[in-house]
Amino acid sequence: MAKEKRNIMKNKISSILINLTLFIIATITISPLLWMLFVSFMPSGSSSSYPPPFLPNEITIEHYKILFTKLNLLNYFLNSLVLSISISLISVLVNSMAGFAFAKLFFPHKDKLFRFLLASLVVPGQVTMLPLFFILNKLGFINTYWGLIIPGMASIFGIFLIKQYLYSIPDTLIEAARIDGASDFTIYYKIILPLCKPILVTLTIFTFIGTWNDFLWPLIIMTDDSMYTLPVALANLMGEHALDTELMMAGSVLTTLPIIILFMFLQRYYIEGITAGSIKE
Amino acid sequence: MNYINKYGIAFLFIAPAITVLFFFFFVPVFAAFVMSFTDFDIYALADFKNILFIGFKNYQNLITDPLFWTALKNTLYFVVIGGPLSVIVSLSVAILVNSKVAKFKTFFRTIFFIPVVTTIVAVSVVWKYLYHPRFGLINYILNYFSIEPIDWLGNSDYAMPAIIIMAIWKNFGYNMIIFVAGLQSIPEQLYEAAKIDGANEWQKFYNITMPMLSQTTIFVCIITMIGYFQLFSEPYVMTQGGPLNSTLSIVLLMYQHGFKWWSMGYSVSIAFMLFVIIYAVTLFQLKWQKKKEI
């Protein structure tokens, strides 16, 4: 009896300790982002004081106004948006077609080709950057959306993800459709795409967020101010307005907030994608 | 003809992806390999006739270049200290979130994951101000623990640790999700059996959780390491590689040679060295895991 009571006590204490630790870690995790949000509404210069303020004493939106009226932020925002939407939509189409062929159709050397693609995943993207820059330069795609869209149209990881998912769809379903006279295009369009919807949504969000946050490649391709994406513009702004903390925070909020909101709504799909990608056969 | 009829449609389906990957991935990889044996520079860009094949000269210069060794040392510091720390934090948080007594699991998981989706450039900007020696929030909080103000990004001893702390904050949520999935796949009976045998929490962790998670752990270690080797945006935004080159990373050096100083042949040889290092370390980790399984 006494032992049971002690066990209940022990469980209660460990429950409190675990939840308290989680709460502390959550606070540490979220504070830098809350600080960013609060400082972006402070009047210029007021965050540079001691002790550093966490909440604004008075609220102003002047930094957001300056960003949109004087610093061309809307333009960068639209660049990021157009690129992220087009790359994620095009690549999901291209990758799902290839994934379908690799999983359900037959052609010579299929498995060899796929193994070769998987093996090349170990090549870091940086290796290709300089030659790719020259190729796109020759094609006249520097400082155009195409310079980012074209290399982003297909991804080995995307093909892999869709191929894995298609294993869960039985071959008999496709055989049956074929017997009914459906062509491979009809099968892809009428059976595969609807059944793959969850993984397609996952891949689209993955690519969207990845493109939105990408820095090194847009930094190389977009050398003209009007073509900057948000991260490139923000890094550039940092060079000129480093002393204006509040303005920089407003810029950071506009860069990160859309993606955080998107994630909040679609997090189920995003997290499924991570666990799907981590399960190795 | 028969061949085309038989496989034509399959080829049509893979054609877009394979074409893009061929011209904009495999051709550049091959071109980079060739370029790394030339003196490709700004003159070569104007006229390809100016290109000279110089054999292994770029690689020879590389291994005698003190700046390359500095960049390699800094990157290894980031990978060897930051990588394991990040994996340990992810695993610990995953175990806490996954414990039976934890409340508001989804809420906590969402919070821990938010930094992962944020833009690295934007959070580097934010953390640069948080690390401010006088007005930064971090020194202010440390002050409560009677720690003297630290010039995080201005002192060459603290700049890399500062970047490591931020990197862990930014990506522990990603690995945490993978670990939670791994933890949930461990059969509950194992723990029940251990409990009957009188095992304590630590014994359960060491004899059940750790071995059952070994596949997941090796996967997490490899992807974390590959990502950490490619360190670029954080030093680019926060320190430009300084102070005293203490945060100069391999990719940053590659970027500077390729797109600032236009010594492109040299730049791609740096990229290839990075590839070889990543490849070797990945193989080593896989081998090491196989050995442990036997």
> What is the share, in percent, of chain A residues with pLDDT greater than 90?
55
Q: What is the ipTM score, two decimals?
A: 0.89
pLDDT in tens, A233-249: 999 998 888 888 999 99
Q: Is the dihedral of CA A256, A260, A266, A269 positive or negative?
A: positive
CB pairs under 8 A between A and B: 261
Whether B168 contacts B82, CB under 8 Å:
yes
pLDDT in tens, B61-87: 899 999 999 999 999 999 999 999 999
The torsion angle over the Cα atoms of residues B169, B171, B175 and B176, rounded to 10 degrees, is 40
Helix (H) or strand (E) holding A112: helix A110-119
Give the nearest partner residue to A154 out of B17, B99, B111, using CB atoms: B17
Q: Is the pLDDT of residue A277 over 80?
A: no
**pLDDT, tens digit, 9 for 90 and up, residues A33-50:** 999 999 999 998 888 887
Measured between CB atoms, which of A29, A117, A159 is closest to B112? A29
What is the rounded distance in angstroms from the CA atom of residue A155 to the CA atom of residue B47?
33
Q: Which residues of chain B have pLDDT under 70?
A: 1-5, 292-294
What is the band of A89 on the pLDDT scale with cuts at 50, 70, 90?
very high
Query: What whole-number distance in Å separates Cα of residue B62 and Cα of residue B37?
Result: 12
User: Which superfamily does CATH assign the domain made up of A62-278 to?
Assistant: MetI-like (1.10.3720.10)
User: In which band, very low, low, confident or very high, does the pLDDT at A105 lie, cut at 50, 70 and 90?
Assistant: confident
Mean pLDDT of A105-123: 89
Lowest mean pLDDT among A1-5, A159-163, B164-168, B243-247: A1-5
Question: pLDDT over 70 for what percent of chain A?
Answer: 97
Mean pLDDT taken over chain A: 89
Place of tokens 């690390």: B131
Cα–Cα distance for residue pair A162/A93, rounded to 1 Å: 11
Give backbone dihedrals phi and psi of A213, rounded to 5 degrees, phi first.
-90, -10
47-86 in B: which are within 8 Å (CB) of A? none
Residue appearing with tokens 């102003």:
A60
Q: Which residue of B lies nearest to A156 if distances are taken between CA atoms?
A: B21
Q: For chain A, which residues make up each domain, given as ranges?
A: 62-278
d(CA A252, CA A266): 22
230-289 in chain B: CB under 8 A from chain A: 230, 232-233, 236-237, 251, 254-255, 258-259, 264, 267-268, 271-272, 274-275, 278-279, 282
* Chain A nearest-CA residue for B266: A130
Q: Is the pLDDT of residue A263 over 80?
A: yes
pLDDT of residue B268: 92
Residue A279 pLDDT > 90: no
Q: How far is A27 from chain B (nearest CA, A)?
A: 9
Residue of B nearest to A243 (CA): B129
HEC secondary structure over chain B: CHHHHHHHHHHHHHHHHHHHHHHHHHHHHHHHHHHCCECCCHHHHHCHHHCCECCCHHHHHHHHCHHHHHHHHHHHHHHHHHHHHHHHHHHHHHHHHHCCCCCCHHHHHHHHHHHHHCCHHHHHHHHHHHCCCCCCHHHHHHHHCCCCCCCCCCCCCCHHHHHHHHHHHHHHHHHHHHHHHHHHCCCHHHHHHHHHCCCCHHHHHHHHHHHHCHHHHHHHHHHHHHHHHCCCHHHHHHCCCCCCCCCCCHHHHHHHHHHCCCCHHHHHHHHHHHHHHHHHHHHHHHHHHHHHHC
The answer on pLDDT for A281 being more than 50 is no
Query: Pick from A100, A124, A153: which is nearest to B230 by CB?
Result: A124
Question: What was the pLDDT predicted at A128?
Answer: 92
**A79 vs chain B: nearest CA distance in angstroms?**
15
Q: With an 8 Å Cβ cutoff, is B88 touching chain A?
A: no
Q: What is the mean pLDDT of residues A4-10?
A: 79
Smallest Cβ–Cβ distance between B137 and the set A35, A156, A280 belongs to: A35
Q: What is the pLDDT of residue A280?
A: 44
Q: What pTM was estimated for this model as a whole?
A: 0.91
Domains belonging to chain B, first-starting first, are 60-293 (1.10.3720.10)
Q: Do the beta carbons of residue A102 and residue A163 sit within 8 Å? A: yes
pLDDT score for A270: 80
Q: Can you read off the two tokens belonging to residue B30?
A: 């091959």
Counting residues of chain B whose pLDDT is more than 90, the rounded percentage is 61
Mean pLDDT, chain B, rounded, equals 90
